[in-house]
Amino acid sequence: MYYLNELKQSHDVKFSLKFKILLFNSVEYLVFFPVVFIIYWLLKDRYKRQNMLLLISSYIFYGWWDYRFLSLIIFSSFLDYFVGLKIEVAQGKKNKQRWLMVSLISNLGLLGIFKYYNFFASSFANSMSTIGWDVNDLTLNIILPVGISFYTFQTLSYSIDIYRGRINATKNMVAFFTFLSLFPQLVAGPIERASNLIPQIERKRMLNNALIKNGVFQIIIGLFRKVAIADNLGVYVDSVYANYDLHNGSTLLIATLFYAFQIYFDFSGYSDIAIGSAKLLGFNFHRNFNFPYFSRTLTEFWRRWHITLSFWLRDYLYISLGGNRRGIAMTYRNLLLTMLIGGLWHGSSWNFVIWGGIHGLFLSIEKFTFSKFNIKTFNAFGYIYTFVVVLIAWIFFRAPDLTAAFTIFSKIVSFDFGVLFIGNINSFVNAICLLSLGIIIDLKIFRSDIPLENYGVQYNTLKLSVLVSIIIIILCLFYSTTENFIYFQF
Partner 1 sequence: MALIVVISYVLDKIVFYTFNKISDKVMTGQAIGKLNHFLSKKDSVDFMVFGNSRANRHIDVRVLNSNSFNMGMDGVGIAYNSALIGTLKNTHKQIVVVHIDTKNFFDKDYDGSDITSLKTKYKRNASITKALEESGQLSVFQKFYRSINYNGNTIGILKNVVRPSYNFRTYYGYDPITINESQTFMRDQVLLRENSTEDCENDYKINAVALKYLETIAAFAHRTPNKTFIFITSPLYHDSCDIDNIKLASLMDSLDLTYWDYTNLYKDTKNKSYWKDATHMTKNGAEAFSNYLNVQFKANHSF
- On whether the CB atoms of residues 270 and 25 are closer than 8 A, the answer is no
Indicate whether 427 belongs to the interface with partner 1 (CB under 8 A). yes
Residue among 245, 329, 376, 379 that touches partner 1 (CB under 8 A): 245
The distance of closest approach from Cβ of residue 377 to partner 1 in the complex, given in angstroms and rounded to an integer, is 39
Q: Is 42 in the site for partner 1 (CB under 8 A)?
A: no
236 binds partner 1, rule: CB under 8 A: no
Residue 403 touches partner 1, criterion: CB under 8 A: no
CA-CA distance, 290 to 49, in Å (whole number)? Answer: 34
Applying CB under 8 A, does 484 fall inside the site for partner 1? Answer: no
The active-site residue, picked from 247, 286, 346, 359, is 346
The yes or no reply on residue 469 touching partner 1 (CB under 8 A) is yes
Contact status: 365 vs partner 1 (CB under 8 A):
no
Q: Is 41 in the site for partner 1 (CB under 8 A)?
A: no
Q: Does 101 participate in binding partner 1 (rule CB under 8 A)?
A: no
**479 belongs to the binding site for partner 1 (CB under 8 A):** yes
Under rule CB under 8 A, residue 134 binds partner 1? no
Give the nearer residue to partner 1 in terms of CB position, either 271 or 424: 424
Which range touches partner 1 (CB under 8 A), out of 195-203, 313-321, 382-390, 459-467? 459-467
- Alpha helices by DSSP H, 314-380: 328-346, 350-373
**Near partner 1 by CB under 8 A, which window of 76-84, 241-249, 260-268, 390-398?**
241-249
- Could you confirm whether 346 is annotated as catalytic? yes
Using only C-alpha atoms, the chain has a radius of gyration, in whole angstroms, of 23
Residues 1-40 that bind partner 1 (CB under 8 A): 1-4, 6-7, 27
Nearer to partner 1, 129 or 469 (CB): 469
Please enumerate in sequence order all residues whose Cβ is within 8 A of that of 17, keeping only pairs 6 or more positions apart, or say none. Answer: 146, 484, 488, 489
Instruction: Using CB under 8 A, list all residues that contact partner 1.
Output: 1-4, 6-7, 27, 216, 245-248, 418-419, 424-427, 429-430, 433, 461-462, 465-466, 468-470, 472-473, 476-480
Active site residues: 346
